[in-house]
Structure 1
Amino acid sequence: MAKQMIYGEEARKKLLDGITAATDAIKVTLGPKARTVVLDRSLVVQQLSMMELQLLKI
C-alpha cells in the first residue's frame, strides 16, 4: 500500500474518522447488554498499533 502524507485539517478529519469508527465498534461491546462484534480484516485499511490500542483502553 502506498504511503500518503497529509497535514492540517484533512489529517485531523481522517484521524477523527478512524477514532470514531473504532469507538463505535467498541462501545456496543460494553455494559449489561453487550454484543459481540466481528471485524472483517479485508475492511481494515490500517491495523492499530499497540499504542493506539492502549489509548482506546483509556
Structure 2
Amino acid sequence: MSLSGEGAASMVASALSRRAAPVRAEFLRELLAYAAAGLAVIETPPAAAEALYRLADAVVEHGPP
C-alpha cells in the first residue's frame, strides 16, 4: 500500500472507531458513494471507471453474506 493509501486507511479506521457498530456499514456505504462521485469528477473517465470496477469486483469476489 502506498503512503497515501496508509494515511487514508488510518483515517477510515479512526472514523470507524468513533462510530457504534450498527452504523459502521452505513458510514462505509456513504463514504464509498462520495468517493466514487469524487473520482468521477476529478479523474479521467477510464481511470474512474477502473477504480469503480475494481471495487465492484471486490464485492462480487467476496460473495453474499
TM-score normalised according to structure 1 size:
0.41
Between the two structures, name the one with larger relative contact order (CA 8 Å, sep ≥ 6).
1
